[in-house]
Chains A and B, each alone.
Chain A
Amino acid sequence: MSTVAELSYAEAIRDGFATAMAADERVVLLGEDIGVYGGAFQVTGDLIERFGDDRVIDTPISELGAAGVAIGAAVNGLRPVLEFQFSDFAALAMEQITNQAAKMRYMLGGAVSVPVVMRFPSGSGTGAAAQHSQSLEAWLGHVPGLKVVQPSTPYDAKGLLLAAIEDPDPVMIFEHKLLYKMQGNVPEGHYTVPIGKAEIRRRGSDATVVASAVMVHRALAAAERLAERDISLEVIDLRSVRPIDTDTIVESVCRTHRLLCVYEGVKTLGIGAEISARVAESEAFDFLDAPIARLGGAETPIPYNPRLEKAAVPQIEDIEQAVTDLVAGRL
């Protein structure tokens, strides 16, 4: 690992692809408009010029079929990465993702592995309304056989992608659309970020926030504001929805004695519910000085109107208020 470049989250993913594709002929990309168009969010960009159209393959608008194609190719020795144009379109491919990719190895008693990667541009905040703004990571996180990650930085976007491509099992990557333009330091060449490991982004002593994707950055911004009022917030970037790094969360809550889960997906039956339960079931329960709190997405589809859209998912001020209440014992 030599030089470090300042890249956007989207460029970091593209750099990850270039690294993997140069090193391994088996890596092929599939997706809608990922070729000359460069991908709906310009992630694949010029890769078709660098690696050719038999490795950067435009598919028809056939999410279910393309998912099956990627799975079959993976079983037969390729390392396919399938881009969904929006994570919402996973709904079209749920059969192949959940019944085939996730279960094939188990159903066959370990006779095959399915090293497929699927990428899902995800989340709200772009005015794309109800069918192009969902956060569905909990859907796929519910399925044994899948691994599900949510990178929050350019560094992790590349490192988790490379880890996913090298992983022998199906890995689902939820990339937040609001992060594609975010800049950050990205090492050149090959490195990986381990799947299943959370990262403490900010150390604190009064409360722990567990967040992922864009919510990590909102929690960090809230932590800055709270620091001005002498409230010390620890921010954990979950990074991996399946498997969940319970140890890092429990260790943190044992120190801070308070937990707030912040997630963009619909609050009910969401990731925060799982994290809350894991902490409640752990030794950290005895350390809690306040009930566990959750901030999640509203129980609605994502609306089009910008004010409503903003109100439908946790914002910096919501996190700031929730932590203030938690620390004051008002929750």
Chain B
Amino acid sequence: MSLSAKRDVDERSFAIRELARLQLHDMLYRMRLIRRFEEGAEECYTRGLIHGTMHLSIGQEATAIGVCAALTAEDQITSTHRGHGHCIAKGAEVRLMFAEFFGKEAGYCRGRGGSMHIADVASGNLGANGIVAGGIPIAVGAALANRRLHPGRVVVSFFGDGASNEGAFHEALNMASIWKLPVIFICENNGYGMSTSTSRSTAVESIATRASAYHMPGSSVDGNDVSAVVEATTLAVERARKGDGPALIECKTYRWRGHSKSDRNRYRTKAEIDSWIEKDPIRRFEDELRAHGIIDEAGIVEMKARVDVAIAEGIEFAKAAAEPAIEDLEEHVYSR
């Protein structure tokens, strides 16, 4: 490539080139919203306002946002135990999520599901899942139904690196491929299945290479680069909508917090965690938008304030919301 030709090449990222300013603003807003939602939830947990446990995705926001930026409101997702980001990225309201975490009747699952089963079917989130890989075959079935009933609609299945070692992963990807279903498999590889690193648990270095076993395209992207994620997902979505079948995308990322609230972080070093905090996906995207004049300092300050208000209002809403009635314990086990 000559120097003159190189000057003509658009070196801006996919997101900057292809997405509208308003969408880029919304993506940054929602990335912050996820971060502050989880910080808020963690604080409420520490103060005893939320019980049980939760799995925080702080540090992984670019994956959830990048994937969902490539989807329409009609497209659907299945999510994981580390699913707060997916839920917000797909369009959920944080006040109804907080209400769920507080176990209140106003929550998305009427207080029956909690963090690990958070869902917002109306915005296309068929639910987080407490079983690793549990949502993957369900996504394939959802896509099978969509092909008959809602042609053009795509289903994304989020799962972690650990899920790719489950049998359900194998069975589901194989079926999606033989039936060429409109489903996209997003592996959020954060390096650890609880305490066990992928190098100790997983025979391949890149989970994307597993796609070849199912004769589908596999790609591996920097999961902290929201533009790289939205670009890879957009390609896969276009392919799936055309009827060309599924794809597997590995997003390499990192969770800053422990696996769950019981984690004492004995299996990784502070230096490792710090090195990933340096790669903060939100600051990175913010810097990129600023560098291209898409947002300025005042815009960022205003956005942060809006996020803080949404979080504070969400927590107050959840605190004030009503508990489920004891006599409704057996409601919703069956439809009738």
Please tell me if the beta carbons of A64 and B137 are within 8 angstroms of each other in the complex.
yes
Closest to A168 in B: B335
Binary contact readout B168-186 vs A (1 if CB under 8 angstroms, 0 otherwise): 1011101100100000000
Report Cα–Cα, A105/B136, bound state, in Å.
18
Of B76, B109, B167, which contacts A107 at CB under 8 A? B109
Task: Kindly specify which of B26-34, B49-57, B85-93, B126-134 makes contact with the partner chain.
Answer: B126-134
Task: Kindly specify which of B112-120, B226-234, B271-279 makes contact with the partner chain.
Answer: B112-120
**Interface set, chain A 286-303, CB cutoff 8 A to B:** none
Report Cα–Cα, A108/B120, bound state, in Å.
9
Of A62, A109, A144, which contacts B108 at CB under 8 A? A109
Please tell me if the beta carbons of A78 and B149 are within 8 angstroms of each other in the complex.
yes
Report if A109-B175 is in contact (Cβ < 8 Å); known contacts: A74-B141, A144-B333: no
- Answer yes or no: A66 CB below 8 A from chain B CBs: yes
Please tell me if the beta carbons of B119 and A69 are within 8 angstroms of each other in the complex.
no
Report if A75-B138 is in contact (Cβ < 8 Å); known contacts: A64-B171, A109-B332, A145-B334: yes
- Shortest CB distance B47–A (Å): 25
Chain A residues lying within 8 Å of B145, measured Cβ to Cβ, are 72-78
Please tell me if the beta carbons of B140 and A72 are within 8 angstroms of each other in the complex.
yes
Chain A residues lying within 8 Å of B134, measured Cβ to Cβ, are 68, 95-96, 99-100
Report Cα–Cα, A104/B332, bound state, in Å.
10
Of B111, B139, B140, B172, which contacts A109 at CB under 8 A? B111
- Shortest CB distance A102–B (Å): 9
Closest to B332 in A: A110
- Answer yes or no: A111 CB below 8 A from chain B CBs: yes
**Interface set, chain A 73-111, CB cutoff 8 A to B:** 73-78, 80, 95-96, 99-100, 104-111
- Answer yes or no: A214 CB below 8 A from chain B CBs: no
Please tell me if the beta carbons of A108 and B119 are within 8 angstroms of each other in the complex.
yes
Report if A69-B175 is in contact (Cβ < 8 Å); known contacts: A99-B134, A106-B112: yes
Report Cα–Cα, A93/B78, bound state, in Å.
19
User: Looking at chain B, what size class is its interface with the partner chain?
Assistant: 35 or more
Please tell me if the beta carbons of A169 and B334 are within 8 angstroms of each other in the complex.
yes
Closest to B136 in A: A68
Binary contact readout A127-154 vs B (1 if CB under 8 angstroms, 0 otherwise): 0000000000000000011010000000
- Shortest CB distance B248–A (Å): 15
Report Cα–Cα, A75/B146, bound state, in Å.
11
**Interface set, chain B 150-166, CB cutoff 8 A to A:** 150
Please tell me if the beta carbons of A64 and B141 are within 8 angstroms of each other in the complex.
no
- Shortest CB distance A188–B (Å): 28
- Answer yes or no: B270 CB below 8 A from chain A CBs: no
Report Cα–Cα, A112/B108, bound state, in Å.
12
Looking at B129, B167, B333, the one whose CB has the most chain A CB atoms below 10 A away is B333
Closest to B137 in A: A68
Please tell me if the beta carbons of B149 and A77 are within 8 angstroms of each other in the complex.
yes
Chain A residues lying within 8 Å of B148, measured Cβ to Cβ, are 25-26, 28, 54, 78
Please tell me if the beta carbons of B171 and A95 are within 8 angstroms of each other in the complex.
no
- Answer yes or no: B142 CB below 8 A from chain A CBs: yes
- Answer yes or no: B20 CB below 8 A from chain A CBs: no
Chain A residues lying within 8 Å of B109, measured Cβ to Cβ, are 107-109, 111
Closest to A70 in B: B141
- Answer yes or no: A259 CB below 8 A from chain B CBs: no
Report Cα–Cα, A64/B134, bound state, in Å.
10
- Answer yes or no: A194 CB below 8 A from chain B CBs: no
Closest to A103 in B: B117
Report Cα–Cα, A320/B296, bound state, in Å.
88
- Shortest CB distance A109–B (Å): 3
- Shortest CB distance A319–B (Å): 34
Chain A residues lying within 8 Å of B107, measured Cβ to Cβ, are 109
- Answer yes or no: A232 CB below 8 A from chain B CBs: no
Report if A71-B335 is in contact (Cβ < 8 Å); known contacts: A78-B148, A108-B113, A108-B127: no
Please tell me if the beta carbons of B332 and A169 are within 8 angstroms of each other in the complex.
no
- Answer yes or no: A39 CB below 8 A from chain B CBs: no
- Answer yes or no: B121 CB below 8 A from chain A CBs: yes
Report Cα–Cα, A112/B125, bound state, in Å.
11
- Answer yes or no: A256 CB below 8 A from chain B CBs: no
Binding site for A on B (CB under 8 A): 76, 78, 107-113, 117, 119, 121, 126-127, 129-131, 134, 136-146, 148-150, 167-168, 170-172, 174-175, 178, 331-336
11 contacts between A and B (CB under 8 A): A65-B140, A66-B171, A68-B168, A72-B139, A77-B149, A78-B144, A109-B110, A111-B108, A113-B335, A168-B335, A169-B334
Binding site for B on A (CB under 8 A): 25-26, 28, 54, 59-60, 62, 64-78, 80, 95-96, 99-100, 104-113, 144-145, 147, 168-169
